[in-house]
Amino acid sequence: MKFYYHPISSYCQKVMIAFYEKDVEFEPEIVALMDPEEREKYREIYPMGKVPALVLDDDRLIPESSIIIEYLDGIAEPKLIFGDADQRRKIRFKDRMYDLYLNESVSTLIFQEMKPESERDQERIDTAKFRIDTMYGFMEHEFANQPYSNGETFGMADCAATPALYYARHKAPFDKHKHISAYWDRLASRPSVQRVMTEAEPYVKAILGQDAAA
């Protein structure tokens, strides 16, 4: 299967963590999203133009990070969406929370800061900061009692939280939240996460600067 991605993209990192946790082989294909020609070419594969997307050997297209992980769960262990129906619902809920309110907000801060000050949208920045603070409050409480987002076992929501926290470290530091910091240390010590971050590092340094990858 062919995996269309970019190493700097948090949603792609989320899926790559799942690939490496499961040790599933895939053919990686970097999409240079900054290059208009490559972008147009990629739209022939996935008209929405978003990465990640997976194309199976029988040509079925599977876009969307959570849906790709759900597909991978059907073909390889360990399960990242596990447990009974209620537990699986909770995993999907947290995965969405991390995507929509943590990851999207951290990305907003990164992209807004890349703009000249006069062009920044203060309302968007304030909303992003509010959502990050709210998520940190929720996470600090959760991780006081459990090592991973849905209990004792690493799952899909943790795949989503990892890239969000990787980028948040500098844009919205969580070092004053001791339980989130300990959670980050647990995530960062996983071989799957180390591999994804090592592969991303040269791109992160080149695009976002030396400090972003530190």
- Contact footprint for ligand GSH (CB under 6 A): 9-11, 33, 49-52, 64-66, 99
Question: In the bound complex, what is the minimum distance in angstroms from residue 182's beta carbon to ligand GSH?
Answer: 27
Radius of gyration of the chain from its Cα atoms, rounded to whole angstroms: 17
Question: In the bound complex, what is the minimum distance in angstroms from residue 51's beta carbon to ligand GSH?
Answer: 4
In the block, tokens 């299967």 appear at 1
Looking at the Cβ atoms of 21 and 143, the one nearer to ligand GSH is 21
Question: In the bound complex, what is the minimum distance in angstroms from residue 110's beta carbon to ligand GSH?
Answer: 11
Question: In the bound complex, what is the minimum distance in angstroms from residue 99's beta carbon to ligand GSH?
Answer: 6
Looking at the Cβ atoms of 100 and 144, the one nearer to ligand GSH is 100
Looking at the Cβ atoms of 65 and 108, the one nearer to ligand GSH is 65
Annotate 18-87 with DSSP letters as a single string. HHHHHT---EEEE--TTSHHHHHHHHTT-TT--S-EEE-TT--EEESHHHHHHHHHHHSSSPSS-SSHHH
Looking at the Cβ atoms of 42 and 143, the one nearer to ligand GSH is 42
